[in-house]
């Protein structure tokens, strides 16, 4: 897939305010400061499409971007650590949950995982929730440029062992790096193939 256009469309705090579900949609989510905005910018081929911040919790609403005028890319608030109040975190959890469950044109959730870290309970719990609710998702390992090939292989293997026994199979995953622009082609090819399965609600 060649990106010909990528533009910000709107922000909202409820799935009821999202754009019409008339095209396939892909949501990106992960722990705060996992590199979500950087990856979105790489995938879209647009340097400042999503705002990048070193402050965890920068994204606090549902951000929709229109890609090639044919599919939506969605930037969701990060879960986990963020310098915001407990009340606001509770609000995030509510509208993120509603969005994921109710958004009829949502084709897949990209769960971003920091490849440098040991398996995090919050990431695993979130993916288990998606699986139980039959929400299609894939994993995207981020910041892989900070690891050697051997360290990256070990990181992925740790996740496989961590999930062994409770998961029937390891989820599909992508190896990405915003710094090296790694994973862009693979993710876009996946989106291109998945778009063909879209049926208007």
Mean pLDDT value of segment 71-88: 69
pTM (2 d.p.): 0.89
Domains of the chain are 6-195 (3.40.50.300)
Q: 143: which DSSP letter? A: -
Q: Quick check: 51 pLDDT over 70? A: no
β-partners of residue 77 are none
State the average pLDDT over residues 53-59. Answer: 45
The runs of H, that is alpha helices, within 108-148 are 121-132
Residue pair 54/33 in contact (Cβ under 8 Å)? The answer is yes
Q: What whole-number percentage of the chain has pLDDT above 70?
A: 89
Where b means 16+ CB within 10 Å and e means fewer, 12-30 reads beebeebeebebbbbbbbb
Q: What is the pLDDT of residues 92-106, one digit of tens each?
A: 578 888 999 999 999
Does residue 34 surpass a pLDDT of 50?
Answer: yes
| Structure confidence at residue 59 as a pLDDT band (50, 70, 90) | low
Rounded-to-integer distance, Cα 199 and Cα 19, Å = 16
Q: Which helix (H) or strand (E) holds 162?
A: helix 149-163
DSSP state of 26: E
For the stretch 123-162, pLDDT in tens is 998 899 899 899 999 999 999 999 999 999 999 999 999 9
**pLDDT at 92 (0 to 100):** 55
User: What is the rounded CA–CA span in Å between residue 73 and residue 131?
Assistant: 21
């Amino acid at each position: 897939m060649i990106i010909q256009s990528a533009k910000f469309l709107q922000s909202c705090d409820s799935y009821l305010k999202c754009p019409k579900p008339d095209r396939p949609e892909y949501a990106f989510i992960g722990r705060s400061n996992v590199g979500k905005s950087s990856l979105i910018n790489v995938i879209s081929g647009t340097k400042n499409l999503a705002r990048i911040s070193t402050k965890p919790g920068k994204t606090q609403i549902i951000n929709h971007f229109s890609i090639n005028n044919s599919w939506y890319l969605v930037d969701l608030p990060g879960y986990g650590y963020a310098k915001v109040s407990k009340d606001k975190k509770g609000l995030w959890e509510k509208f993120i949950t509603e969005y994921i469950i109710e958004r009829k044109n949502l084709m897949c959730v990209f769960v971003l995982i920091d490849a440098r870290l040991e398996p995090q309970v919050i990431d695993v719990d979130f993916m288990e929730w998606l699986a139980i609710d039959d929400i299609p998702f894939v994993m995207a390992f981020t910041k892989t440029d900070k690891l050697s090939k051997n360290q990256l292989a070990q990181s992925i293997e740790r996740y496989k062992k961590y999930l062994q026994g409770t998961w029937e199979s390891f989820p599909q995953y992508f190896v990405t790096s915003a710094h090296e622009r790694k994973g862009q082609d693979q993710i876009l090819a996946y989106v291109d193939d998945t778009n063909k399965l879209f049926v208007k609600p």
